């Protein structure tokens, strides 16, 4: 981060923001959590915010916009958040501009946590933190993503074909908010293990600091 006069902000005063965007099941959550842990930064899985709103609507508690305006942070760890029904509801509420607007401030203020924050989502590098220090766009083929999701959900009796269709329809719904920033670094995880992926990203960050 360089000031207008070319002076560098002293290292201990800088707040580092790392944006990790990409489609569902591309491995960005595991990666973002790993990066945050490695660097000792705060971590926010912004998909959980949309899932909380989706869950609230599914439970008939409130409408989507009201739920987004009155987020209940205790719901962050609700086990139900990870389910496919909630994922679908989240993807629907995420298309409502007022919902996105209501969640924007929460995400931006989280990004200001010292000494730094890693946020994973869809629009972190483009809308939430367009001046992030590092922007990554994490992708993988539909097939690789469906297979990963299938491994997680196999026990529930779902088929690989169903999951593949699910991944494709979520991609279509998320397409509008899931555009890579012009200055994002692309990471294709189709052929990488989680460790290899983390290693690659940490290398980029450490070399770029």
Identify the residue among 174, 181, 187, 197 touching ligand DC (CB under 6 A). 174
Identify the residue among 27, 121, 125, 180 touching ligand DC (CB under 6 A). 121
Identify the residue among 55, 57, 64, 91 touching ligand DC (CB under 6 A). 91
> What minimum distance in Å lies between the beta carbon of 123 and ligand DC?
5
> Does residue number 56 form part of the binding site for ligand DC (CB under 6 A)?
no
* CA dihedral sign, ordered 10, 38, 32, 58: negative
> Does residue number 189 form part of the binding site for ligand DC (CB under 6 A)?
no
Alpha-carbon span 167 to 63, nearest angstrom: 26
Identify the residue among 26, 32, 35, 122 touching ligand DC (CB under 6 A). 122
* CA dihedral sign, ordered 141, 145, 151, 153: negative
> Does residue number 170 form part of the binding site for ligand DC (CB under 6 A)?
yes
Burial profile 54-84: b = 16 or more Cβ within 10 angstroms, e = fewer: bbbbbeeeeebbebbeebeeebeeeeebebe
> What minimum distance in Å lies between the beta carbon of 5 and ligand DC?
34
Alpha-carbon span 78 to 146, nearest angstrom: 24
Angle at 65 between CA 20 and CA 166, to 5 degrees: 55
> Does residue number 90 form part of the binding site for ligand DC (CB under 6 A)?
yes
> Does residue number 164 form part of the binding site for ligand DC (CB under 6 A)?
no
Phi and psi torsions of 24, nearest 5°: -65, 145
Residues at the interface with ligand DC (CB under 6 A):
24, 46-47, 50-51, 87, 90-91, 94, 121-123, 170, 174, 177
């Amino acid at each position: 981060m360089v000031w207008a006069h070319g002076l560098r902000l002293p290292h201990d005063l800088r707040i580092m923001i790392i944006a990790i965007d990409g489609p569902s099941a591309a491995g960005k959550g595991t990666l973002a959590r790993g990066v945050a842990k490695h660097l000792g930064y705060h971590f926010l899985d912004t998909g959980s915010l949309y899932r909380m709103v989706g869950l609230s609507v599914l439970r008939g508690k409130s409408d989507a916009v009201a739920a987004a305006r009155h987020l209940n942070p205790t719901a962050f760890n609700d086990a139900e958040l990870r389910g496919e029904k909630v994922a679908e509801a989240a993807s629907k509420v995420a298309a409502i501009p007022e919902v996105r607007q209501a969640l924007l401030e929460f995400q931006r203020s989280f990004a200001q946590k010292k000494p730094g924050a890693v946020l994973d989502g869809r629009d972190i590098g483009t809308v939430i933190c367009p001046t992030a220090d590092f922007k990554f766009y994490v992708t993988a083929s539909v097939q690789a993503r469906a297979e990963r999701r299938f491994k997680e959900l196999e026990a529930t009796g779902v088929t690989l074909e169903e999951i593949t269709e699910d991944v494709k329809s979520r991609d279509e719904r998320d397409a509008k908010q899931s555009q890579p920033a012009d200055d994002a670094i692309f990471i294709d995880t189709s052929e990488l293990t989680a460790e290899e992926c983390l290693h690659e990203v940490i290398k980029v960050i450490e070399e770029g600091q």
